[in-house]
Amino acid sequence: MATTDDLKEALDVLKGTGVRITPQRHAILEYLINSMSHPTADEIYKALEGKFPNMSVATVYNNLRVFREAGIVKELTYGDSSSRFDYVTTQHYHVICNDCGKIVDFHYPALNEVEALAAHITNFEVSHHRLEIYGTCPECAKDKKTVES
């Protein structure tokens, strides 16, 4: 779970790049840092519209773009579904449900060696890697068993 230090650090990064911290920007960032669900822009908008009735979905998208450009948020694109957004913390990977699209983080430090090995074997200048695991989340698996019974 994210901490208030994560929020302060992210706000400091934004201020350092000359980004003005508006109440909406602060709320969007705080929601994203505290969310473990890798929300879409629409989900963020729906979660905050009660607090900011004059905020539009475009405002959310524009702020997410600012956060992405500042390097504090990653945009996750999987297939045709809407982009999801992830606060950049430590290097981690994602397990994605084939049925509902739920994304869960997992850490596996041994994979950090993969980039060095790939660079060594291929002579590439490796910039990054992306690993995705697909399956069925426990909730969808339970629903499938209920339907089959």
The contacts of residue 39 (CB under 8 Å, 6+ apart) are 31, 32, 47, 84, 85
- The reported pLDDT for the residue numbered 149 is 64
Average pLDDT, the chain: 85
For residues 30 and 46, give the distance between their C-alpha atoms in angstroms, rounded to a whole number: 15
Q: pTM here?
A: 0.67
User: Is-contact 73 111, C-beta < 8 A?
Assistant: no
- The reported pLDDT for the residue numbered 7 is 85
Instruction: Give the tens place of pLDDT for each residue, 3-31.
Output: 578 888 888 888 888 889 999 999 999 99
Instruction: Give the tens place of pLDDT for each residue, 83-105.
Output: 888 887 666 777 888 888 787 87
- Reply yes or no on whether the pLDDT at 1 is more than 50: no
CA distances from 47 to 91, 94, 134 (A): 27, 23, 27
pLDDT > 90 in the chain, percent? 34
